[in-house]
Copies of this chain bind each other. A is one copy, B any other.
């Protein structure tokens, strides 16, 4: 994607390199076939699976999500969706490790309530600490709080995943300045997780300097999920390239002497 002389632009997570910066979930599709086609169209190489809602082998005889996610092609990212306390979240990760033969990479989320699905950052920090000690490589869903993001990094999480907006809302990035501050302070990858609604939202996340975006509803709940998966793939690539290309500075007018700074208000 970049110009010929530059090295390929890769996302590195847990020592592995990925070409795609779009991570997707498997929920809310019509059926397994649609799930598979949407994931294919998204170009994603990392697929997150809600351990408490999806059959990873816990229920023998039922369709297993792994059947459509061959491990040589996809990195499975078990997640703790639906967990509202430290203990359940930790136990869910351990179950996933068992089902996946020692797989250590997990996405932790500990939610604060069933209505808003906002993370409980206190419980999240505790669960992250336990999981890191137990040898997990923890990617962690959190609010867009720059101090909490730094604390999660200090605990040893390998990636921090602030929300754009509430899970399943499709509202896009509510507070770009916070996401930007998190990115500027980080020494681990920052991926926006939750709240993206359309392709331009994904592009904005990447233009802010994020390393990737994880989404599910924005694809699965589109009228045409397969086409939206392709749109998201391109939106992520567009935003990443724009970030690397270094955008022009916004000005009020084309003339050199019209910077926005002169204004007493922000547009």
Chain A residues within 8 Å of B, Cβ to Cβ: 1-3, 112-113, 115-122, 125, 143, 145-148, 150-151, 165-172, 174-178, 180-181, 197-200, 202-204, 207-208, 217-218, 221-228, 230-235, 237-242, 244-255, 258-261, 263-267
Contacts and interface: CB of A to CB of B under 8 A. Distances in A.
A181 to B, nearest CB: 6
Nearest to A177: B267
Contacts of A197: 247-248, 250
A226 B118 contact: no
B245 A241 contact: no
Nearest to A123: B147
B180 A177 contact: no
Contacts of A225: 245
19 contacts: A1-B230, A3-B227, A118-B145, A118-B147, A166-B254, A168-B251, A170-B247, A170-B251, A174-B175, A177-B252, A200-B242, A202-B238, A207-B265, A208-B265, A222-B247, A222-B248, A223-B245, A231-B239, A231-B240
Contacts of A1: 227, 230
B244 A224 contact: yes
Given A203-B238, A225-B245, A231-B241, 18 more contacts: A1-B227, A3-B224, A116-B181, A116-B253, A117-B253, A118-B147, A169-B250, A170-B248, A198-B242, A199-B207, A200-B200, A200-B239, A218-B248, A249-B264, A250-B265, A259-B261, A260-B260, A261-B261
A170 B39 CA distance: 34
Contact of A171 (B118, B228, B261, B267): B267
A171 B177 contact: yes
A241 B253 contact: no
Contacts of A223: 245-246
A191 to B, nearest CB: 17
Please list the 6 inter-chain residue pairs (A to B) with the smallest Cβ-Cβ separation, ordered nearest first.
A168-B254, A223-B246, A112-B147, A231-B241, A234-B238, A200-B203
Contact of A241 (B148, B230, B237, B266): B230
